[in-house]
Amino acid sequence: MSAPFATQLLGWKKAKSAGNFVPNSADSSSTPSKELAGKILDILGIKPGAALPELPENSGPALERAVYEHLTNALPDADPSRSWKVNHGKAISHFSQYAHLGKLKQAVQRNPVLSSDLGLDYLIKPDVTVGITGHPQNSASVPFLHAAVSCKWTIRSDRVQNIRHEFLQLIKHRRGRLPHLVTVTAEPMPSRIASIARGTGEVDAVYHIAFDALQKAVDAVGSKQQKSDLAELISQGRLRPYEELASTLATW
């Protein structure tokens, strides 16, 4: 199984330097990354050059949009008793636990000293937010932030730091229950997934859009370390199939 949109986003692209086909989720400078990503595509039945014109030009925003659209449709089916509000790129100050940050922003903008000391990096806009209206902790007009989803097509060191920074702000500034903090990715290297899945609690879990294919690919062509990393992440519940995300949010 894989995310319903996985085969619409995953595929082969022509490398700019050599002109040969490489997986669009691979690090083109890393042979292990290309081998694992290529095996994932093979398992999914996507051959080199297949459906190349239909691939999105920029995979990152396409993943954000796909997750947003999927959760918008899937959550009401998973739990119709809740009033779900899924948004793409909505500031956290629009949610009840963080509404005070909007007032803080106004104060900071009026005071040069506060602006210099505090900045505005706490007013983040998660890639996808899942709100609930009518929650006991908020008024009827202000949604409660139930989950924040960071969508990262692949995992690199700078993206890990971005995720940690955003989620630490959500942890630090909340007034009320913490949202479910998750990452969605297509990264083929377990070692790179581990760089964000491991840690001190900034991220609750990482959801992979081709989880089953990733497992089979690592088993087939992964190194001993990649196999060990993947087994650890799965056994500890740090890496999960994307297909479980909606049901997890509905029961959490």
Could you tell me the pTM of the whole model?
Answer: 0.90
Alpha carbon of residue 115 to chain centroid: 30
Select the CATH number that applies to the domain covering 58-251 from these four: 2.60.120.920, 3.90.1300.10, 3.40.50.10010, 3.40.50.620.
Answer: 3.40.50.10010
**Distances in Å between the alpha carbon of 125 and those of 35, 70, 185, 199?**
34, 19, 18, 22
- Whole-angstrom distance, CA of residue 148 vs CA of residue 163: 11
The candidate with the shortest Cα–Cα distance to 53, out of 8, 93, 4, is 8
Residue-by-residue pLDDT tens, the chain, 252 positions: 789 999 999 999 877 666 688 999 999 889 999 999 999 999 999 988 654 557 888 999 999 999 999 999 999 999 999 999 999 999 998 999 998 886 665 545 555 554 444 444 557 899 999 999 976 655 557 899 999 999 999 998 888 888 998 999 899 889 889 999 999 999 999 999 999 998 777 899 999 999 999 999 999 999 999 999 999 999 999 999 999 999 999 998
- Whole-angstrom distance, CA of residue 106 vs CA of residue 103: 5
The per-residue pLDDT for 18 is 60
The per-residue pLDDT for 17 is 64
The per-residue pLDDT for 48 is 82
Extract the tokens encoding 56.
């999105």
In single-letter form, the type of residue at position 132 comes to I
> Would you call 118 exposed, middle or buried from its count of C-beta atoms within 10 A (0-12, 13-18, 19+)?
middle
Q: Which residue has the tokens 């993206």?
A: 159
> Helices (DSSP H) in the chain: which residue ranges?
6-9, 31-43, 59-78, 100-110, 112-118, 157-173, 190-197, 211-221, 224-235, 245-251
In single-letter form, the type of residue at position 20 comes to N
Q: Where are the domains of the chain?
A: 58-251
